[in-house]
């Protein structure tokens, strides 16, 4: 079998395996096991050692034990519902093998009278005699039983014995793949091959051995394959030749001088990086990453201004209409009066929408703000030069690639995210893009005072809110769930709304995941216009809008949130000139990790530092809950425990890029790790 056939076997249908019929295949597919390769990553959680045999007289009730006995007599009662029984013995005593719902023929076949048989199972005791009920491990060949048998997190309907048979079948037939790594990389893992690593991974004695070379090698394969794909996407985008954007930098400086705040050094640095891309003859595909309140919007708008001055149009997309409208209003405030600025929303009437479409096509609009609707097929630009997308941290690699293609060759792409993440994750999630980071906060941005309070002291919190309302301040009150749950001890947004409404009549409103988009926009708009003082919400307010007058946020059950999410929520306040406060409410029975999270947040306002700590606390295998970010769902690799492997992969990718190496030898690696659809034209 050649290398191509080998990896095709691994990606082949489960029905190619012996013992896997339609029923078993469907059960596995429910567990997201779609091919043979997928099965390799369903690792054993523990194992049962059936290798040691005992004599009947030495058996221990309630334990899994292995015995070699001789069946002596069958007892097949004719009364319904009574179990079948086989009396077995060795030289030290007797034991009954008891069967419920098993046919006589099957029992006679596996326990033939007078033949020596090895049996393994949990030992019971009934009527002064040992017994084994429905033994799954029975064979005349003791070597098949006397092994360490892996235990898996099983799909309902598939027994451990069948699962082990399927896995063992794959391991026995595991193809030998041609090595894709360089000698230098292989030396780091004691030259162990992919095939040998997989076999080691499934040995019972290797469960949980994350530091071993076989495990490290396989984790590295995952990381490297992702980085390789990202590298190819970067190279493809860099090959796209575009018309350089020519603009006068002095016009940009005039806008900066008229602002009522100073740009930070980081904002200046990021703006220079973006401008360099705009000037370049290669397409920009860049992420602007910054903590909440770090000032990404002004950087993106100055980039838009320069693009318009070069004679091109700009599309600025935000996740909500109210946020898009805020950006639109800010642009109108700072841009020259001759700039043609437009806003389009789902509420725009048919006539207005048609008018906007015509003016976009005839180049009568310089920049348009809106939600994702501005990228609908029917919306066509005359000369689109820059796409800006705010808060699209939920875009995955595939979506970003399509977005880059949609803009056309002459269109640069700038994405923004307010989700600070550790470098190992940034390399993974956004490795297909160039990166600009704003770490420095504007001088005007005051640190948010963060406190923790026991739920039992809610009266103190209510008194604090009363004082804040008298000072004409506004309050966010965040709850984890919409409705009360009997299973989860979380606060209910609806219940809290009813509670607060009685204390503050006509001053409270409510939004949650079930609120319609139209109602949500109206409620947020009314809050912005100070028509009420307290907004009770679920976590849907986590990202996005500036409410300059909201300077208090209460977070219920704060221990139920991750650190990064708490920081994002906290970032909804502190946008104005007044001091801001975050109060985290919690119950008395906090776990040690929950206490750590709350203390870290109380002591830091730096989102990047907080995200690093968050990942350390969450521990092995939990990639920060960033699956919504489009991150590859690694089976083995972990950003904290394998940070050295991430750096090794980055170094190797840079070497390959520098030497312009042919990557066709990596095709099996990319195919196996499910990323080939993005760069499917690899030789």
Of 416, 438, 460, which residue constitutes the final position of a domain?
A: 438
Q: Does one domain contain both 561 and 499?
A: yes
Closest CA to 445 of 304, 667, 190, 266: 266
Q: List phi, psi (to 5°) of 614.
A: -60, -45
Q: Flag the least confident range among 276-280, 614-618, 663-667.
A: 614-618
Write the DSSP assignment of 409-437 as a string of letters. Answer: TT-EEEEEE-----HHHHHHHSTTSEEEE
**CA separation for the pair 638, 636 (Å, rounded):** 7
How sure is the predictor about 406, in pLDDT bands with cuts at 50, 70 and 90?
low
* Domain assignment of residue 152, yes or no: no
Average pLDDT, the chain: 84
Q: Residue 163 to residues 28, 44, 133, 168, 219: CA-CA distances in angstroms?
A: 10, 10, 20, 9, 24
Four-CA torsion 65, 68, 74, 79, nearest 10 degrees: 10
Domain ranges, residue 14 = 1-45+159-175
Q: Does one domain contain both 387 and 478?
A: no
pLDDT at position 625 is 42
Q: Report the SS3 class of residue 121.
A: strand
How sure is the predictor about 519, in pLDDT bands with cuts at 50, 70 and 90?
confident
| Whether the predicted pLDDT of 331 surpasses 50 | yes
User: Is the CB of residue 367 less than 8 Å from the CB of residue 308?
Assistant: yes
* Model confidence, pTM: 0.73
Q: Does one domain contain both 350 and 265?
A: yes
Q: Which of 442-456, 620-634, 647-661 has the highest mean pLDDT?
A: 647-661
Q: What is the pLDDT of residues 527-580, one digit of tens each?
A: 888 899 999 988 766 555 678 788 999 998 887 777 777 888 888 887 767 788
Q: Report the SS3 class of residue 153.
A: coil
pLDDT at position 520 is 81
Q: Does one domain contain both 425 and 533?
A: no
* Domain assignment of residue 628, yes or no: no
**CA separation for the pair 428, 503 (Å, rounded):** 48
Residue with tokens 């530091």: 211
Stretch 229-234: mean pLDDT: 86
| Whether the predicted pLDDT of 486 surpasses 80 | no
Q: Does one domain contain both 394 and 473?
A: no
**CA separation for the pair 356, 370 (Å, rounded):** 12
* Domain assignment of residue 664, yes or no: yes
* Domain assignment of residue 626, yes or no: no
- Looking at per-residue pLDDT, the higher value among 178 and 632 belongs to 178
Four-CA torsion 479, 485, 486, 487, nearest 10 degrees: -80
Edge to edge, the sheet with strand 313-317 lists: 341-343, 367-370, 313-317, 384-389, 412-417, 285-290, 434-438
Of 438, 463, 491, which residue constitutes the final position of a domain?
A: 438
| Whether the predicted pLDDT of 621 surpasses 50 | no
* Domain assignment of residue 617, yes or no: no
CATH of the domain at 458: 3.40.50.300
Q: What is the pLDDT of residues 12-33, one digit of tens each?
A: 888 888 888 888 888 888 888 8
């Amino acid at each position: 079998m050649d290398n191509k056939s080998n990896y095709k076997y691994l990606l082949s249908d489960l029905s190619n395996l012996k013992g896997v019929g339609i029923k078993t295949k469907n059960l596995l597919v429910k567990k997201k096991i779609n091919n043979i390769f997928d099965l390799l990553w369903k690792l054993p959680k523990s194992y049962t050692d059936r290798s040691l045999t005992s004599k009947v007289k030495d058996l221990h009730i309630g334990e899994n034990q292995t015995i070699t006995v001789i069946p002596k007599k069958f007892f097949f009662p004719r009364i319904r519902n009574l179990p079948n029984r086989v009396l077995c013995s060795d030289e030290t005593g007797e034991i009954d093998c008891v069967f419920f719902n098993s046919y006589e023929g099957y029992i006679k076949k596996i326990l033939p009278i007078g033949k020596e048989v090895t049996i393994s199972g949990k030992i019971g005791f009934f009527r002064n005699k040992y017994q084994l009920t429905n033994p799954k491990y029975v064979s005349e060949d003791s070597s098949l039983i006397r092994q360490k048998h892996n235990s898996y997190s099983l799909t309902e309907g598939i027994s451990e014995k069948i699962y082990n048979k399927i896995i063992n079948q794959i391991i026995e037939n595991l193809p030998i793949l041609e090595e894709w790594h360089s000698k230098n990389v292989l030396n780091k893992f004691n030259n162990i091959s992919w095939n040998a690593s997989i076999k080691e991974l499934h040995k019972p004695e290797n469960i949980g051995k994350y530091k071993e070379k076989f495990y490290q090698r396989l984790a590295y394969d995952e990381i490297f394959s992702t980085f390789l794909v990202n590298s190819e996407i970067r190279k493809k985008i860099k090959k796209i030749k575009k018309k350089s954007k020519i603009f006068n930098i002095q016009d940009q400086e005039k806008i900066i001088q008229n602002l009522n705040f100073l740009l930070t050094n980081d904002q200046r640095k990021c703006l220079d990086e973006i401008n360099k891309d705009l000037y370049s003859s290669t397409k920009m595909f860049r992420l602007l990453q910054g903590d909440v309140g770090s000032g990404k919007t002004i950087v993106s708008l100055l980039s838009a201004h320069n693009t318009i001055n070069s004679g091109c149009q700009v599309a600025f997309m935000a996740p909500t209409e109210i946020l898009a409208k805020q950006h639109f209003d800010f642009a109108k405030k700072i841009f020259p009066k001759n700039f043609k600025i437009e806003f389009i929303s789902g509420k725009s009437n048919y006539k207005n929408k048609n008018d906007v479409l015509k003016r976009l096509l005839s180049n009568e609009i310089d920049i348009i703000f809106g939600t994702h609707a501005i990228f609908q097929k029917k919306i066509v630009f005359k000369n689109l030069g820059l796409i800006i997308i705010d808060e699209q941290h939920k875009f995955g690699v595939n979506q970003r690639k399509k977005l880059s293609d949609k803009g056309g060759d002459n269109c640069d792409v700038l994405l923004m995210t307010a989700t600070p993440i550790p470098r190992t994750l940034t390399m993974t999630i956004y490795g297909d893009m160039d990166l600009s980071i704003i770490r420095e906060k504007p001088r005007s941005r005051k640190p948010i005072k963060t406190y923790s309070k026991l739920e039992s002291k809610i009266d103190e919190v209510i008194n604090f809110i009363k004082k804040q309302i008298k000072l004409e301040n506004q309050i966010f009150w965040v709850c984890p769930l919409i409705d009360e749950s009997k299973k989860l001890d979380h606060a209910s947004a609806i219940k809290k709304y009813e509670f607060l409404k009685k204390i503050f009549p006509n001053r409270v409103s409510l939004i949650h995941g079930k609120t319609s988009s139209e109602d949500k926009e109206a409620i947020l708009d009314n809050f912005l216009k100070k028509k009420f003082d307290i907004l009770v919400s679920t976590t849907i307010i986590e990202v996005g809008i500036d409410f300059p007058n909201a300077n208090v946020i209460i977070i219920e059950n704060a221990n139920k949130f991750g650190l990064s999410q708490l920081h994002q929520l906290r970032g909804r306040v502190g946008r104005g000139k007044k001091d801001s406060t975050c109060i985290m409410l919690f119950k008395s029975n906090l776990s040690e990790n929950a206490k750590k999270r709350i203390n870290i947040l109380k002591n830091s306002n730096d989102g990047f530092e907080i995200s690093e700590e968050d990942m350390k606390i969450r521990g092995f295998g939990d990639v920060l809950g960033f699956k919504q970010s489009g991150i590859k769902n690694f089976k083995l690799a972990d950003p904290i425990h394998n940070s050295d492997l991430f750096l090794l992969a980055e170094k190797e990718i840079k070497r390959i890029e520098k030497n312009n190496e042919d990557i066709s030898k990596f095709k099996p690696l990319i195919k196996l790790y499910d990323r080939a659809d993005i760069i499917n034209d690899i030789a």
